[in-house]
Amino acid sequence: MNKVYTHNKKLKDWVLKVTRLCRPDNIVWIDGTDEQKAILETEAQVSGELIQLDQKALPGCFLHRTAIDDVARTEHLTFICTRRKSEAGPNNNWMSPKVAYNKARGIFKDSMAGRIMYVIPFSMGPVGSEFSKIGVELTDSRYVALNMLIMTRVGSAVLKELDKGKDFTKCLHSKAQLDINKRLILHFPQDNTIWSVGSGYGGNVLLGKKCLSLRIASFIARRERWLAEHMLIMGIEEPNGHIEYIAAAFPSACGKTNLAMLVPPEGLRVKGYRIWTVGDDIAWMRVDSDGALWAVNPESGFFGVAPGTNSKTNPAMVETINKGAIFTNVLLKPDNTVWWEGADGGVPSEGVDWQGNHWKPGMKDAKGNPILGAHPNSRFTVPIKNCPSASFRLDQHHGVPISAIIFGGRRAHLTPLIYEAFNWQHGVFVGATMASERTAAQVGQVGEVRRDPMAMLPFCGYNMAYYFRHWLNMGKRMPKAPKIFHVNWFRTDEHGKFLWPGFTENLRVLEWVLDRCNNKVRARETEIGYVPYSQDIDLTGLDLSKEVLDRLLEVKPKEWIEELKGIRKFFQEFKKDLPKELWEEYESLKKRIKAE
């Protein structure tokens, strides 16, 4: 064991207790120094956890491969373990804390034998800020330790905060046997504790991310009257030099990372816009003394989707990941660089695929399906500071003031490109009824609508009926509440082709959003909210006809009759717990579209 830096008795006692349970051969405290990081990287190469990539082309970059059945978050093995089932709500898997601890203890027992246990003290949010939260992760994975060094603020400075008597989230992780039948992701919000066992995949094991910053944090945020959300945060510098910040919630793989680091299209660039990336996945937001909503990104890195990332879709990310990145489950090229489906350059003539097998383009599996070089959920971990558009306010304790909140999903039909809620309560209804269509790449019926309120369905650490109540209350606490909008980049024509070009062009829609926030533009009042007049969306430099734009902005009340049925069914799951204000909004919408 290296030097123990802490005087926090609770932490020392807990490390001892876990040591007795998991029986590691040794304990190493992660101090956040470059020297220790270099040692971990070397050891990880020796153990085979990491493959060093070409250091000229990709300095500081490594490749990691997970087990074949450990490539994504396992929602069915993820539990909220509150004392009462009703506290977890119909939106979560629930286990009683007693049963959960007992079940997991059996898997954790002796699981670290022959391994080192790393003690990782980390801060979500700038170290020392009164809005930040501290966690300590105990893990037997070097890959986890190295990723946590990118995704969070790790090291001795955090232990100093703990010495001041601050509380921390106890985060315990063991790979154990990486057995999917002995895998559990358990959250004990009432004990401020997370136990994750049997996985080595990012979202399951980087416990500062979804587990702490969303599931546990959402639970704490309700008590402390703030919001922990699955949202990107970005600043839009206007031609006059003023920066307005927005936060946007889209479900997983629906475009947060892409939007957060958008590069303005040529047609608008002449106006002098510039984007500042604050975060791509998580926003912690609170009402400040000025009555406005202020947001921080608790993370310090991106854990982004690799496939589809290229200089056309996301040029800023291409620049971000050419140093200091850990790639997971992508293809290894013969020149010791990496590739994925939809990457820049041509398809390589051969390589080693994400499963570690020799790969050539055109190879088929037993069922005749093409064998992919990279897993569709292959990802990279990289520091935000690498990003050319990284905000200069990343370490600001108060974060950034939010002018607009944007909800969005993938809907081939129904929702227009953009609409604005009538007011905060209506905006909460818009967020609560958010939905996204399943794509062919997901299990389930194609086109089937899955409700994903505020993009938080897999991440809300308590009963969502209480969560909606909390959102309604937050509006009342804010004299300067942000306006709420809903976007849909995914409306299609009769051939299934996207009507809107998306990506960089989305700035044209954000321009309208900001103009609405600043009362600079009128809008058309429809049954579902305010929609732009087509002449108010600046199409300079974009080859898109007025007819297509009109289709993108069209609201068809008839289609909403069907939608209402789905909303009703969803709301009914929450029984008497659902705030009556949401039923009021439902009834008003029903009246407006004349669905009787």
Residue 72: CB minimum distance to ligand SPV, A: 7
What are 514's two structure tokens?
């900001």
Question: Is 229 among the residues that bind Mn ion (CB under 5 A)?
Answer: no
For residue 543, which phi and psi values (nearest 5 degrees)? -90, 80
Residue 539 has φ and ψ, to the nearest 5°, of -105, 15
Annotated catalytic residue 254:
yes
Residue 333 binding ligand GTP, by CB under 6 A: no
The yes or no reply on residue 254 touching ligand GTP (CB under 6 A) is yes
Q: Does 257 bind ligand GTP (CB under 6 A)?
A: yes
Query: From the CB of residue 363, how many other CB atoms can be counted at a distance below 10 Å?
Result: 14
What is the distance between the alpha carbons of residues 358 and 355, in angstroms, rounded to a whole number? 9
Q: How many amino acids of this chain bind ligand SPV (CB under 6 A)?
A: 8
Per CB under 6 A, the list member of 198, 203, 255, 307 interacting with ligand SPV is 203
| 509 within 8 A of 502, measured Cβ to Cβ | no
Distance CA 475, CA 426 (A): 11
Q: Which is nearer to Mn ion, 439 or 492 (CB)?
A: 439
Query: Is 209 among the residues that bind ligand SPV (CB under 6 A)?
Result: yes
Of 175, 256, 375, 516, which one interacts with ligand GTP (CB under 6 A)? 256
Helix axes 557-572, 580-592, angle to 10 degrees: 160
Token code pair at residue 27: 């304990």
Instruction: Give the one residue of 101, 284, 303, 466 binding ligand SPV; rule: CB under 6 A.
Output: 303
Shortest Å distance, C-beta 33 to ligand SPV: 26
450 binds ligand GTP (CB under 6 A): no
Nearer to ligand GTP, 257 or 300 (CB): 257
Q: Report the SS3 class of residue 117.
A: strand
d(CA 589, CA 572): 17
58-88 exposure pattern, b = at least 16 Cβ within 10 A, e = fewer: bebbbbbbbbeebbbbbeebbbbbbeeeebb
Read off the DSSP letter of residue 213: I
Which range touches ligand SPV (CB under 6 A), out of 91-99, 181-189, 202-210, 535-543? 202-210
C-beta closer to ligand GTP: residue 299 or 420: 299
Q: Is the separation of the CB atoms in 278 and 295 below 8 Å?
A: yes
272 and 332 Cβ atoms separated by less than 8 Å: no
How far is residue 213's CA from residue 229's CA, in Å, rounded to a whole number? Answer: 8
**Which listed residue (54, 312, 498, 520) binds ligand GTP by CB under 6 A?**
498
Shortest spacing between CB 8 and ligand GTP, in angstroms: 33
Contact 172, 143 (CB under 8 A): no
Contact 4, 136 (CB under 8 A): no
| Binder of ligand GTP out of 22, 228, 305, 326 (CB under 6 A) | 305
**Angstrom distance (rounded) from CA 468 to CA 474:** 10
The rounded distance, in Å, linking the Cα atoms of 591 and 585 is 10
Residue (366 or 443) nearer to ligand GTP, CB = 443
The residue written with tokens 């002018």 in the block is 403
Nearer to ligand SPV, 161 or 280 (CB): 280
Of 302 and 586, CB closest to ligand SPV: 302
| Interface with ligand GTP in residues 503-562 (CB under 6 A) | 503, 506
Angle 382-384-389 from CA coordinates, rounded to 5° = 125
| 489 vs 574, beta carbon nearer ligand GTP | 489
Candidates 69-77, 142-150, 280-288, 466-474; binding stretch for Mn ion (CB under 5 A): 280-288
**Options 231-239, 244-252, 382-390, 416-424: segment touching Mn ion (CB under 5 A):** 244-252
Q: Residue 202 interacts with ligand SPV (CB under 6 A)?
A: yes
Burial of 33 (0-12, 13-18, 19+ CB in 10 A): exposed
Do 144 and 173 form a contact (C-beta atoms < 8 A)?
Answer: yes
Nearest residue to 61 via CA among 70, 48, 69, 52 = 52
DSSP, res 370: B
Q: How far apart are CB 30 and ligand GTP at their closest, in Å?
A: 25
Query: Long-range contacts made by residues 12-20, C-beta under 8 angstroms, separation at least 24?
Result: 14/136, 14/170, 15/119, 15/138, 18/117, 18/138, 18/172, 19/117
- Choose from Mn ion, ligand GTP, ligand SPV, none: what does 209 bind? Cβ within 5-8 Å by kind: ligand SPV
Stretch binding ligand SPV (CB under 6 A), from 13-21, 87-95, 203-211, 538-546: 203-211
Minimum CB distance to ligand GTP smaller for 96 or for 313: 313
Candidates 150-158, 246-254, 363-371, 579-587; binding stretch for Mn ion (CB under 5 A): 246-254
Q: Which of 70, 281, 353, 563 binds Mn ion (CB under 5 A)?
A: 281
CA nearest to 186, candidates 289, 267, 100: 100
Q: Tell whether residue 280 is a contact of Mn ion (CB under 5 A).
A: no
Considering only residues 153, 170, 173, 210, which one is a binding residue for ligand SPV as defined by CB under 6 A? 210
Q: Which is nearer to ligand GTP, 471 or 500 (CB)?
A: 500
In the bound complex, what is the minimum distance in angstroms from residue 49's beta carbon to ligand GTP? 23
Which of 254, 387, 460, 517 is flagged as catalytic? Answer: 254
Tally the residues of the chain.
596
Kindly list the catalytic residues.
254
Residues that bind ligand SPV (CB under 6 A): 73, 202-203, 209-210, 252, 281, 303
Residues that bind Mn ion (CB under 5 A): 252, 281
